[in-house]
Amino acid sequence: MLTQTPLSNSPYTPPPPGQRSDDMSGHAHRQVIGYLGLALPILLVSLVRLRPNAVADLWAGGSISAYYWTGAVSLFVGLLASLSLFLLTYRGYDNESQKYDRGAAIIAGVAAAIVAIFPTSPPGGVAPPWWGEWISWTHSIAAITLFSMFAVFSLWLFRKTAPGEEPSAEKRRRNVIYLLCGVAIVMSMGWAVIEGLSGRSIFWPESFALGFFAWSWLVKGQALRSVKSTLGAAKDKLTT
């Protein structure tokens, strides 16, 4: 008599360790967003030094956006396009805050795309035929919107607790990090405004803002846990 083996797989797949059951995006999604923000200034500077178009490209430090006019333009646009895609597809959590997660992510994703498509003012006053001053204004407004959404995630959305739940000790520690990152992003934006109005470089204020943005998303995505898990699995394979 043939008997059918009971199915071990159920329609419900439990979430990975540390991930809530109502998480609609996943930690890996958040980690990618964080790593993209962290990589942007580092890779741009590195690529321009490896592949300069001119001597001036060795330090295109007026702003991160100034790298659009260097040999790193493909990397600049590509990273922003990737960041835009992952933000636009971010869904947050399946609860009453989901609409805010989606709204902030969509605004940030569209802003990142606009920053990539509409570049900042070209260096040296040498503008291509298609250039118009309105392009620079569009770029600036989109960049301010993008960094503002970064602050919204850190200061508000990441610090929310699921309805009816008391935040754990670990959650409270993470909330402190989110708060610090959000405040640092806002301060970096203010720093950039002061430097910009004075005609000085805003590269470092932007880089600091991106760094704190990346830190908050990597903490939210529990990147450290993922790294430890990956290293542990690799160690087990090497020892077996």
- The predicted structure's pLDDT at residue 97: 80
Task: State the number of CA atoms in the 13 A half-sphere of 49 facing the CB.
Answer: 8
In angstroms, the CA 38 to CA 76 distance is: 13
- Please report the pLDDT score of residue 69 as a whole number: 86
- pTM reported for the whole predicted model: 0.84
C-alpha 240/C-alpha 236 separation (Å) is 6
pLDDT of residue 17: 59
pLDDT by residue for the chain (240 residues), tens only, comes to: 444 444 445 444 555 656 666 667 788 899 999 999 999 999 998 888 777 666 555 456 689 998 998 888 899 999 999 999 999 999 988 778 889 999 999 999 999 999 999 999 887 767 788 888 999 999 999 999 999 999 999 999 999 887 677 878 888 999 999 999 999 999 999 999 999 999 888 999 999 999 999 999 999 988 877 666 665 656 666 676
pLDDT at position 135, please? 95
Q: What is the pLDDT of residue 238?
A: 67
Tell me the one-letter amino acid at 23: D
Burial letters 59-86, b for 16+ CB under 10 A, else e: ebebbbbbbbbbbbbebbbebbebbbbb
Q: What is the CA 83 to chain-centroid distance, rounded?
A: 6
